[in-house]
Amino acid sequence: MRCVILAISNLLFNPACIVYANISRFKIITSGTDIVMTYVVVENCIKCKYTDCVDVCPVDCFHEGPNFLVIDPEECIDCTLCEPECPAGAIFADDDVPAGQESFIELNAELTKQWPVINASKDPPSDAEEWDGVEGKLQYLER
């Protein structure tokens, strides 16, 4: 993995700042205010839940609800591996979430505290293909 860890003192606003540089993206963690970039599951996962994504995550940061998965923003190391695995195209970097779906950033953070970790793929719902690409699925999210 082309991952570089740089420990930098007296950077920005905090004396103890670690920058994880992963290709072109950065995760910055300070002992004060966290500035965290992560990956996010968005609307098209709802009622599709293919779960291909969980098999590649090296840190088990996916959590499973009844008909949707979320990513724990505190665990995600921004490795990018899950994004191309999703057949529904439902995983985005938090700074690249489709317009109108910004609320899913907070939704991932919220629901990850309520749902259990899933670290092995399973069969999707039998009607997953029918729901793939349907707009306005947030109304069907089961908590």
Cα–Cα nearest to 50, from 116, 138, 133 = 133
Query: Quick check: 57 binds ligand F3S (CB under 6 A)?
Result: no
Query: Quick check: 70 binds ligand F3S (CB under 6 A)?
Result: no
Query: Quick check: 80 binds ligand SF4 (CB under 6 A)?
Result: yes
Query: Quick check: 79 binds ligand SF4 (CB under 6 A)?
Result: yes
Helices vs strands, H then E, count in the chain: 2, 7
Residue 79 touches which of ligand SF4, ligand F3S, none (CB < 5 to 8 A by kind)?
ligand SF4
How far, CA to CA in Å, does 67 sit from each of 12, 86, 104? Answer: 41, 15, 15
The H or E element that residue 110 is part of is helix 103-111
Query: Quick check: 90 binds ligand F3S (CB under 6 A)?
Result: yes
Q: Please give the Cα distance from 107 to 143 (Å, whole number).
A: 11
Query: Quick check: 78 binds ligand SF4 (CB under 6 A)?
Result: yes
In the complex, what is the shortest distance from the CB of residue 52 to ligand F3S, in angstroms, rounded to a whole number?
4
User: Which positions lie near ligand SF4, rule CB under 6 A?
Assistant: 39, 56-57, 59, 61, 71, 76-82
